[in-house]
Structures are given as C-alpha cells and as structure tokens.
Amino acid sequence: FGSRRSPRAFVPWASAGASPQPFGPAMARCRAGLALRRAWSLRPSSAPVGAPRALAASSHGSACQRRPFASGGGAQPYDVAIVGGGVIGSSIALHLAALSEQRLRVAVLETDPTYKWASAPRSAGGIRQQFSMPVNIELSMYGIEFIRSGLQEMCAGVDVDTDVQFRENGYLILAPEGGTGEATLRENVATQHAHGATWITLLTPPELEARFPWLSTDGLSLGAFGERNEGYFDPWALLQAMRKGSAARGVEHIAQEVVGVEREAGGAIGSLRLADGSALRAKTVVNAAGAFSGRLVDMCGPGVTPLPVSPRKRCMWLFKVGARTASAGVTPCPPDTTPLTIDPSGCYFRSEGTGGRFVCGVSPKPEEDPDCELKDLEAVDEKLFEETIWPTLADRVPALESLRVESSWAGMYEYNTVDQNGVVPNMLMACGFSGHGLQQAPGVGRACAELLVHGKYRTTDLSILSFDRIVQGRPVFERGIY
C-alpha cells in the first residue's frame, strides 16, 4: 500500500467493438448528449426513421452471423439496418423486435464480436436521475424501470440471464462553497422532483457528515443523494441480455464493418458497403456507432452536415484501501455500499464488490483531451491518477490516503463537441450521449423503436434532441454532466 504522503512502490454507421472488463468502462464529464437526430427536413413524412449508436457485434454462438449480401437490386432489403451493436444499438433492436406487431427484418452490424473496446463494459456502470433536463431525467427513470423488470419481460421465454447485478447504493453529488454550485444543485433537484424523481434528497454539510461519516465536508455547501433508483450495475450483463434477447426475436446480428455508403439520386442511403466486399440494402439506417458515429456520417459525402461526435479516452482505476480508518484514527473507510460519489472537482469513485475495493476516474482537462484511436486505449494515463485523482480523493475521503492500485484500464468516450449532426432522408441517429448512453440506452431504444414503427414518439418525447436544434443553431445543454 502507498500513502498519499509517500508515493506508492446521421448517416450509415461505424462503431467500435469492446470486450468485457472486470470493473466496467470509464464514466467521465462531457457535453449534453446528441441523442436522437431525425432528418426532418429531408425525410418523407410517411417514412419513419430509426437509430442506434455504436458499431459493435456480439460473440456468442449463432446470434452473430456472417452472411453474404448481394449488392445489386435482387437482394431483399432489410427494413432496418442498425450500425453498431453496443448498448444503444442492441436496445433499439430489442425494443423494435418487441414493439412491432408485424415482423420487421432487422440487422445489427457490429465490427467486433468480442466487444474488446466497447464503451459500456469499460464504464462505471452508473444510473442516476440527477440531471437538469427533463428529457434526461425521464430517460433514466425508464432506464431503472427497464433494468428492474422491463428487460426480464422483453426476454421472457428466452434462455438469457437478465440479472444485471444492480446495486442500489445511490449517487452522491457534491457542490462547493462559493459560486453557483449550491444554487445549481438546488435548481436541478427541484426539476428532478417536478418530473417524478422525488427520491433525490438535499443534504447540508452536517447532514452529510451524519449520513456519510467517511466524508470530509471541507469546502462543501450542499450534497444531493439518490435515496433509491440510483446506483450502478454490470454493463456487460445488460449488453449481452439485450443482444441475445433481440437475436431470439429474429434480429440478425452480423459481424461486419461498414466501410462505405451508396446514396441514391434523392439523397437516401441505398446500401451499405461492408468490409468483405458485399453490400447490405436497408430501407432505414440507424447510426448507433458511438464514438465513431461521425465517421459513418462522413461516408455519406461532402453534402452532409458533419456530426460533432469525437472519440475520446477515459481512464479508470480499481484500488484497495489499506486501512479501515484514516491516519488520524477518526474518519472511517467508506463501506462496500458507498454511493457513486462525485466531488466538485469532477473526480468520482464508488465501491466495487467487497473487501474495501473501489473504482475511480475523472475527465482530463480540455487541453489534455484530444481525439483518439482504439490503439490509444492500450495505454492508461497513470499520471492522472497520481497527480489529480488520488490527492483529491484523499482530501475528500481521508481513509483513501493509503491505498493500492490493483488494476487500471481505458475506454472509449463519445464526446459531443458542440451539441451537432448530419441529415440523410432515411436515417435516424442515436449517438453523442457523452457518458450517459449506458443508463439511457433503454429509453433511447424504446423511442427509436416508436419512431420506426409508428413514425412518432408515444412515451418519452425526445423532440428537443432532434437534429433541428443543430441546423437552427439552438443547442441544449445538460448541467448534470461530470
């Protein structure tokens, strides 16, 4: 163990695959999610569009198929082709299969059936309703309903484990003294209560000390704690359950990378060119390619508005606490039920299993956060932990002054650089969620399925996240991004 005082010894899709990690992907700060982008101005009103987020295939048995496609007009087109088999794409596929009364022909294209670098399995796996925008609150309220019971209902009769190991330990978001932090937190909680998330409690510093004796309240003005319906779960379990559930309902999962797009005279996508040289035709394309969704849009040509979603790297660490109390002998170690705690600095941590283990992370400074490639995920920025995360956490939680890092990893983060997207007549986009795509995947999947089947939203109205806001220069910002 080391001590902080003595250094320790909208168009087609493209996606990034990813493999399961023992402790999940990285959670980090980012801009408001692009979520769904509809091509309102170009799409015929009679043709609904659908959208997933990231290109990732699945690796279990016959659910992932590799099959030839004819590039000419003889091949029967799919009703929907989803580029990206990650949590967003898999959720859309499952909800689409469950919602459509007539069987639609749906394909999910994933470039990496091992999910080696997929974003969700490398994240902190959190779910919260502590947002400032009503639409994000509603999406995550459906998210908790889905992981509690909806997933099991949709997978009824399918041989798949729907237990995603949800740990209802809450989120604890802390506001600093001075500035607008306290006022913003109060406004956010008022909005959350107004939209049904009445289980979020505001806590003063004395109340924080009473509830969380391991926490130092120095420099804090207020905290917001999710008493229920918040916490963290196993992203890999959710991804696999949705993928297997959709496959059992007839969705075809194809291990192929999209390398090009063929557009028709009217601008609509006619077919997707695949890495094996074949082509896949689809009436509607969904861009669920996650961090690489912008590259799929670029394949549509110079006449399409670029998608402002960039791939960024986020790192996480697993550590074990060395002592059950701080060196002063007063402040105890956080328990195994520690909420996902977000310091005003942006550093966060939560418990991981038992035995005094925790995971943590932080978003790098903007000037130290360049776009990245998959190969960049092989290296973890250990300096970020040593110089930023550890000192910050040790000040906020004195018992963390002595710890041992047991593991670290990097994951892909789809960063919405503006709040922006591109249009194609027969395409829907679900991308750019900037860190909260995992928890909102169920709600986004349901909304996309409604658009594809009914041509309109029937539950959560995501119109505020449409592409129109980009075209018209009306970005929307979520304040609850860390």
Strand 78-83 vs strand 106-109: parallel, antiparallel, or unpaired?
A: parallel
b/e map 447-462, b = 16+ CB within 10 Å = bbbbbbbeeeeeebeb
3-state secondary structure (DSSP) of residue 420: coil
DSSP of 72-109: STTSPPEEEEEE--SHHHHHHHHHHHHH-SS---EEEE
What are the pLDDT tens digits along the chain (482 aa)?
Answer: 554 443 332 222 222 333 333 323 222 222 233 333 332 222 222 222 222 222 222 233 333 333 433 334 445 689 999 999 999 999 999 999 998 777 899 999 999 989 999 999 999 999 999 999 999 999 999 999 999 999 999 999 889 999 999 999 999 999 999 889 999 999 999 999 999 999 999 999 999 999 999 999 999 999 999 999 999 999 999 999 999 999 999 999 999 999 999 998 888 999 999 999 999 999 999 999 998 998 998 999 887 877 888 899 999 999 999 766 665 666 789 999 999 999 999 999 999 998 999 999 999 998 999 999 999 999 999 999 999 999 999 999 999 999 999 999 999 988 877 642 223 446 788 877 777 788 889 999 999 999 999 989 999 998 888 767 766 677 777 787 76
Helix (H), strand (E) at residue 193: helix 181-194
Token digits of residue 356 = 């005094």
Burial class of residue 259, CB neighbours in 10 A (0-12, 13-18, 19+):
middle
| Dist CA 278 CA 272 (whole Å) | 9
Question: Three-state DSSP class for 190?
Answer: helix
Among candidate residues 24, 26, 18, the one with its CA nearest the CA of residue 436? 26
CA distance 94 to 111: 19
Cβ neighbours of residue 104 closer than 8 Å, sequence gap 6 or more: 79, 80, 96, 97, 452, 453
User: Tell me, what's the pLDDT at 61?
Assistant: 33
pLDDT of the residue at 203: 98
CB atoms within 10 A of CB 156: 9
Q: How far apart are CA 14 and CA 86, in angstroms?
A: 11
CA distance 187 to 210: 24
Tell me what percent of the chain is helix, strand and coil, each rounded to the nearest 5: 30, 25, 50
Strand runs labelled E in 215-373 = 220-226, 231-232, 252-254, 258-263, 269-274, 279-287, 309-321, 340-342, 348-351, 357-361
Q: Rounded to an integer, what distance in angstroms lies between the CA atom of residue 157 and that of residue 248?
A: 9
Tokens of 148: 């509690």
Output DSSP code: residue 229: S
Identify the DSSP state of 350: E
- How far is it, in rounded angstroms, from Cα 96 to Cα 449? 5
At 20 the pLDDT is 30
Q: What is the pTM of this model?
A: 0.83
| pLDDT for res 69 | 39
Spatial CA neighbour of 316 closest among 377, 376, 284, 361: 361
Residue pair 113/16 in contact (Cβ under 8 Å)? The answer is no
The type of residue at 95 is H
| pLDDT attached to residue 75 | 55
